[in-house]
């Protein structure tokens, strides 16, 4: 049993092969590339198979970061994972970046409730709370500091912060709330480990926290009737 894990949700493009029986990452390629994930992901996957000395037929499960992240990046990763799942006839398991970081925080600070806060566009923050057992205590949230502070305060002072937006929230609150880590993303191996523990269900859907930045220029569209008249 081997898990192929993919992550293109943020600036990092990553692929890994993981053996859940030995709990070891067999091969991993991960680089902070900013953009261009679609052009590099397949090459990273090929490098993993070459390094691990196994074939694609050995893969029995696909893991993928479903977001949050850039609209294009999340779409690239989920589409690639579902494509490999169809080609290899194996289930695809989605794991959010919130869940993966929460898992890593449980290792760094066991039994510590935490709010994962990730810096987003235009000064916004993506966030989700997890209790002392690592279970979600809020839904995924998106907003500015003023919108998220009431949620943070309602959760209580025992909740620590983690993620690239942790310092931003701490400063806005004017508190000395503990920050466990400022990491913006979890390791690719964490996504594989979590996927190994989950039951295979429906194919994963992207976790889009906001719409795409690029939208059609509808102001230049001609009404259907006018177009038909011009064609006639």
- Evaluate if residue 87 carries a pLDDT over 50: yes
Picking from 30-34, 84-88, 216-220, which range would have the lowest pLDDT averaged per residue? 216-220
- Evaluate if residue 211 carries a pLDDT over 70: no
- Evaluate if residue 229 carries a pLDDT over 60: no
Mean pLDDT of 3-21: 97
Which of the four pLDDT bands, split at 50, 70 and 90, describes residue 215? very low
Which of the four pLDDT bands, split at 50, 70 and 90, describes residue 212? low
**pLDDT recorded at residue 210:** 72
Mean pLDDT of 10-35: 97
Query: Judging by DSSP bridges, how do beta strands 179-181 and 125-130 pair with one another?
Result: unpaired
Predicted TM-score of the model (pTM): 0.89
DSSP string of the chain, one letter each residue = -EEEEEE-SSSEEEEEEEETTTTEEEEEEEEE-SS-HHHHHHHHHHHHHHHHT--GGGEEEEEEE--SS-HHHHHHHHHHHHHHHHHHT--EEEE-HHHHHHHHHHHHSTT--EEEEEE-GGG-EEEEEE-TTS-BSS--EEE-HHHHHHHHHHH-TT-EEESTTHHHHHHHHTS---EEE--SS--HHHHHHHHHTSPP-SPP----SS--S----GGGPPPHHHHHHHH-
Question: How far is Cα 142 from Cα 122, in angstroms, rounded to an integer?
Answer: 12
Question: How far is Cα 160 from Cα 137, in angstroms, rounded to an integer?
Answer: 13
Share of the chain above pLDDT 90, in %: 86
Burial class (CB in 10 A: 0-12, 13-18, 19+), 62: buried
Structural domains present in the chain: 2-96+185-196 (3.30.420.40), 98-181 (3.30.420.40)
Which of the four pLDDT bands, split at 50, 70 and 90, describes residue 216? very low
The pLDDT tens digits for 119-148 are 998 889 999 999 999 999 999 999 999 999
Give the chain's mean pLDDT.
91
Longest dimension (CA), the chain: 71
Query: Taken in order 128, 133, 134, 139, is the CA torsion positive or negative?
Result: negative
């Amino acid at each position: 049993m081997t898990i192929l894990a993919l992550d293109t949700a943020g600036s990092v493009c990553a692929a890994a092969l993981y053996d859940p029986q030995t709990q070891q990452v067999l091969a991993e390629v991960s680089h902070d590339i900013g953009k261009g994930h679609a052009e590099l992901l397949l090459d990273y996957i090929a490098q993993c198979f070459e390094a691990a000395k196994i074939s694609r037929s050995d893969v029995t499960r696909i893991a993928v970061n479903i977001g949050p992240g850039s609209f294009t990046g999340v779409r690239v990763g989920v589409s690639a994972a579902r494509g490999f799942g169809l080609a290899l006839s194996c289930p695809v398991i989605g794991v959010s970046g919130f869940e993966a970081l929460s898992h890593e925080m449980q290792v760094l600070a066991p039994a510590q409730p935490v709010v994962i806060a990730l810096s987003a566009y235009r000064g916004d923050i993506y966030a989700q709370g997890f209790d002392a057992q690592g279970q979600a205590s809020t839904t995924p949230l998106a907003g500015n500091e003023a919108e998220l502070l009431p949620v943070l305060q309602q959760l209580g002072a025992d909740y620590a912060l983690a993620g690239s937006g942790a310092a931003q929230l701490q400063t806005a609150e004017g508190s000395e709330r503990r920050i466990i880590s400022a990491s913006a993303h979890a390791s690719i191996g964490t996504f594989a480990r979590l996927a190994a523990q989950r039951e295979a269900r429906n194919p994963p859907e992207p976790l889009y926290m906001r719409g795409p930045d690029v939208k059609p220029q509808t102001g230049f569209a001609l009404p259907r009737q006018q177009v038909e008249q011009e064609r006639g």
